[in-house]
A and B are shown apart, each in its own frame.
Chain A
Amino acid sequence: MLRPSSSIPRRGRGPLWRDPAVRALATQVILLIALVAVIGLLIHNTLVNLEARGINTGFGFLDGRAGFPISQTLIQYTSDSTYGRTFAVGLLNTLLVSVLGIVAATLIGFLVGIARLSPNWLLARLAACYVELFRNIPLLLQILFWYFAVLRSLPSPRQSISMFDAFFFNVRGMVMPAPETQPAFVAVWVALLVAIVATVGLVIYGRRRQAATGRALPVGWIGTMLIIGLPIVAYFVTGRPLNWSVPELGGFNFRGGMHVLPELLALWLALSIYTAAFIAEIVRSGIQSVPGGQTEAARSLSLPGGLTLRRIVLPQAMRVIIPQITSQYLNLTKNSSLATAIGYPDLVAVFAGTTLNQTGQAIEIIAMTMAVYLIISLVISLLMNIYNARVALRER
């Protein structure tokens, strides 16, 4: 009683099943056996079922002739192309709508998020209403709304709604001027590349100079002028090698210009408006997470307002904002798979939909589709972890 230590069993004493190490080992062995048993059972069942249904496994079907057309193809594709080509077309369409959506959602999201913090009561309320309205309505419903209720009820091509006589909206989507480049246009791309490289060099030089002398270069201004100015100069020097193909109404449809599918427009609108509501909340909480003392300290050092925002508040807010915003970008990419509900030819619609129905290769196709999204997710979260490690607070 007086020597409590004698009542505590030492390691290696007492019954075996009370030893933590033994218990951990036993738990893991049981888990391993259970996992192997379940997976083995599933594989066995699948093989039996596949044999019963006479389905061949393997990826040989990818070389087969697809035999169906796709309404939007970024690369060469006909119905004579292979299923492998279908996969590529679908993947590119998914990436296209994701990138468009990410750009628009970021713009709207930042605007609404900053508006929520506005000292103007009305504007702040309006932004709050936007967030509460759009994030509480299912995305699928929003996609269907834009597609069936708005875009499908637009007039026929002959009665198109026109904007600036260049953009035309009708039931078949949007028609807009398309750039047609001549070979000499390469010079403009080269000029842009040179300008970007020069700006990066300038930034590095500017930082060194500031570290050495304390004087800052107006890097922002010079860089902007370079990136905008050089391509323009190149454009005029090479004799304006760019024509615009302006759409014209001929017969029952438009000739020339670029045609944008209504499915793409609906998906793009819904994805950006929905995701922007989440991004707005992230931006707001990010900016609010910077303590007020930071701004006050900057002011007492007599930093001007713009510089305070750019050098003090934003870098600290971004530390909170970026990881969350990245996961929203991932969500947007995954949500773009809802395209299948309105028939936009994304990866899920043309590959996990049409191709699966035609070939019946369920396991291979679902696995490939999931693998694509998994790889995108894993790559982005890997990049995110690297970024996080770089911007994390260095605590001593």
Chain B
Amino acid sequence: MSSDMIAARPAPDQRHGIVGWLRANLFSGPINSIVTVVVLALLVRLLWPVLDWALIDADWVGSTRQACTGDGACWVFISVRLNQIVYGFYPEAMRWRVDIVFALFALLAIPRLPFKRIVGVFALIGFPVIAWVLLLGGVFGLTPVPTRQWGGLMLTLTIAAVGIVGSLPIGVLLALGRRSKMPLVKGASVVFIEFWRGVPLITVLFMASVMLPLFAPAGTEFDKLLRALIGIMLFWSAYMAEVVRSGLQAIPTGQGEAGAALGLSYWQRMGLIILPQALKLVIPGIVNTFIALFKDTSLVLIIGLFDLLAVIQSGLTDSAWLGFAIEGYVFAALVYWVFCFSMSRYSQYIERRLHTGH
């Protein structure tokens, strides 16, 4: 039997807690430690001035240019024209109509609403009709508001929504057409898809604004916004078609054959068996296309529509407010970023919810 005390052993190495985490993730070796220090130093040097400019040194309240006194950003530039940024040139007395559409839109975007079927039908048919009537007016005693007065965030969202709602069904039809065994249907779909995918959106918009009036019967007036919407829908439906096609290709042939053996017609097989599975598979691709479409709505600035970016761009040339370009662009970037980022997060959430595998 030993009478001596057992010598103290070194403490177990720290693998848990903050120190353990730091050691595993930031200082696991000499190179890793150097990288950590360099990145940290860079972050402090770059991020601090940005924060200082955007938040600490910034001017927030006021209504004139005289309010901009600090060295930092002057957000007054944004706040004085916030109404214009949201509504464009929509008449002030009628802005409640836009508000209602915004509210309905936000309501429909809530995940897991009850009465799924009714809500779905309403979102696809009822909502666009209501939004169209409210925004355009001219019926039920609503004062008409021509589309040239639309602008700002409201126009951006309108273009994006119409583009999304329009391009998905056309895209699905094109994808089915491309997979068809009928040579003429297949050929027409391939030519259509490859044409739109091969040209830049800006030339499509140019084409829509200078060539669509030539295509229409003489004497018809084409609304500028409508022309842009047609171009955007056709353009993005081609991209959507390729995304949907990749989903269709991933469904085993047996699924369709089983449907045929049960005596289902082509459209029943597609609508009840193939498409529900295929579309679920390509949700990430569809949402990525939506995001790209949303970002590219900013291109309508080039053909002279007043979307969010164009309103801010025109605010920069306001002679009373020269020199606030960075504030303007940073604000616009923030708005676009919030929409795009939340769309991509929403798609990840839907993907997890619809995941029925193991």
Contact = CB atoms under 8 A, between A and B. Distances in A.
Given A119-B25, A153-B325, A31 B184 contact: yes
Interface stretch (B7-15, B34-42, B111-119, B248-256): B34-42
6 residue pairs, one from A and one from B, having the closest CB atoms: A121-B25, A377-B198, A136-B340, A334-B200, A149-B325, A138-B295
A13 to B, nearest CB: 17
A279 B87 CA distance: 36
Contacts of A370: 198-199, 203, 207
A123 B28 CA distance: 13
Contacts, number: 151
A28 B182 CA distance: 7
Contacts of B35: 118, 120, 122-123
Interface of B: 25-26, 28, 32, 35-36, 39-40, 43, 181-185, 188, 194-195, 197-203, 206-207, 210-211, 213-218, 291, 295-296, 298-299, 301-302, 309, 313, 316, 323, 325-326, 329, 332-333, 336-337, 340-341, 344
B216 A132 contact: no
Given A24-B181, A120-B25, 6 more contacts: A118-B35, A120-B36, A123-B39, A145-B329, A149-B326, A334-B201
Given A145-B329, A335-B200, A348-B203, A362 B299 contact: no
7 contacts: A32-B184, A120-B32, A122-B26, A138-B295, A141-B298, A334-B200, A370-B203
B329 A136 contact: no
A84 B237 CA distance: 33
- Secondary structure dominating the interface of A: helix
A352 B203 contact: yes
Nearest to B33: A120
Nearest to B210: A362
Interface in A21-79: 24, 27-28, 31-32, 35, 42, 45-46, 48-50, 52
A225 B295 CA distance: 46
Given A121-B25, A126-B39, A374 B185 contact: no
A378 interface: yes
Contacts of B326: 145, 149
- Of the candidates A118, A121, A139, A352, the one having the most CB atoms from chain B within 10 angstroms of its own CB is A121
Interface residues of A, number: 53
Contacts of B198: 370, 373-374, 377-378
B298 A140 contact: yes
- Of the candidates B184, B214, B298, B344, the one having the most CB atoms from chain A within 10 angstroms of its own CB is B214
Nearest to A356: B210
Contacts of B202: 337-338, 340, 348
A137 B336 contact: yes
Contacts of A137: 295, 333, 336-337, 340
B195 A374 contact: yes
A348 B200 contact: yes
A144 B329 contact: yes
Interface in A330-382: 334-335, 337-338, 340-341, 348, 352, 356, 362-363, 366, 369-370, 373-374, 377-378
